[in-house]
Structure 1
């Protein structure tokens, strides 16, 4: 079921009584390392978090990424694929690849510079031949669907929150709803200038929602989502959103990962509140990688 209005979402949740009875966190994760890391002008055309005048240091970005992989492996097994020099900002695989049980889903990227990533034979073969996954390939379809960048999923409930904009259209939302086998997808418009939902919303192990209300075109959409997590929604301000505080991920049920910059943006009461909900905060420096307009969550492709 796909809904597009706040009241329809509230009604669907009430009438369908969707239980949190599915695995809430991933079994493993994979990353793609930065090689000759640089900023792609095409990607910057609709990403307000990028500044083409602030070029990253490729070697420092590589070191940041290696440390990220090491730290995340404290929670789940992590595989790192080598980067592609022809994909200069191709360090955010969650937009191009995602999984559901038994499936690898390949997205349809808006920009040609990012479509190079979805054609990678090594990643496809790793899932298809080694893990025996069915490949659901959206990369050649007449739609835009940047997977778990555009679609934030409450895996425990099988509910998708899909932000519509230049990186995802309604046809893409429908295709992802089917590909992930979701029970319910709620589609809404992002605020002007926002490119991905996972910069304004995170669902942590099906228990807590991090919500940056300023990233939604209509605040009623943000409030409708929050209603599913009574007393377990952490509201983030615009400056915290800009620091990527919503670009967070939970790989184990007791820890939320975000960049050091994002963690610093949280207030002490917010940090205490997360602790009360059962989440410690894991953070790692991503200063150079964040210059490409994404942060820690964008770097992580989950394996369910």
Structure 2
């Protein structure tokens, strides 16, 4: 039985690639805002058709990356650990997220001291939190996260700038079963060893599926919404008992984000 999830999403009303803060972004390449909106609406509607609730964060002009709602916070047990963005271009997104949570009944909202980009670098699995570092989130945010949620935090070093957030290199398929998929070469040797010890039965993604944003996916424990171009993940996901759902997010991927980047889970 699938437990209905609550997600927070932000429409790509002001989506553009007007600056470059990761290797995927190229301001010289045109972006089709209408297509980006169509793809975003398709993702939203798929969640709803699967029985999940989608809450909407209203976008603000001048913040083209606000569509990537996953970066704005980490929510666990109804408590919110806010974001503090690494790049000046995204700084104003953090207070917009904070205002949304405070206005929607969340009493415990933490304003962080250290740089972190929400679920971009933090993932919940079992009784632990996985925490990426190396390009955006500071290692100092890991201790702050652990202190706030009271759960052990496992730090993972990212070494390939194409996988600048943990959610581009690793996806939690089932927190209850401690099941994940990831791309080993995105991590340092020590972090690869940690992942192998923690998740010996993990689904290992190929380079082709990783660069197709295949790990920037969202799983509800059964359905896995995965970028459509990551075709190599479909069969192994089915063999594990999951139902992969291909989603075309190609226009939004021009800014370095896909399914997961657009989706913040509200774990109340």
User: 2:154 aligns to what SS in structure 1?
Assistant: strand
CA distance in 2, matches of 1:214, 1:299: 24
132 and 37 in structure 1: CA distance in 2 versus 1, 3 angstrom threshold: closer
Higher alpha-carbon Rg: 1
One of 70, 82, 104 as aligned partner of 1:130: 104
Q: Is the 8 A contact 2:11 2:59 kept in 1?
A: yes
1:293 is the counterpart of 2:263: no
**Does the CA contact (< 8 Å) of 1:165 and 1:190 recur in 2?**
yes
Q: Contact 1:27/1:303 (CA < 8 Å) preserved in 2?
A: yes
Per the normalisation by structure 1, the TM-score is 0.80
Q: Please, which runs of 5 or more residues in structure 2 have no aligned partner?
A: none
In the other structure, the counterpart of 1:209 is 180
Secondary structure (helix, strand or coil) at the match of 1:55 reads: coil
State the TM-score, normalizing by the size of structure 2: 0.90
**Number of residue pairs the alignment of both structures matches:** 262
Partners of 2:4 and 2:79 lie apart in 1 by 13
Cα deviation per residue 1:64-90 (whole Å; 9 max; x = unaligned)? 111111111124111122221210121
2:195 equivalent to 1:225: yes
Query: For 2:227, which of 218, 235, 259 is the aligned residue?
Result: 259
Runs of 5+ in structure 1 lacking a partner? 1-23
Q: In the aligned structure 2, how far is the partner of 1:34 from the partner of 1:279?
A: 29
Which residue in the other structure is 2:217 paired with? 248
Provide, for residues 133-190 of structure 1, a one-character-per-residue CA deviation record: whole Å limited to 9, x for no partner: 311111xx2x211121112221xx22122221131112112122233332x2111321
Q: 1:125 to 1:84 in 2, by over 3 A?
A: closer
Q: Is the 8 A contact 1:37 1:57 kept in 2?
A: no
Report deviation, 1:129.
4.2
Q: How far apart, CA to CA, are the structure 2 residues paired with 1:298 and 1:26?
A: 20
Determine the structure 1 residue equivalent to 2:43: 68
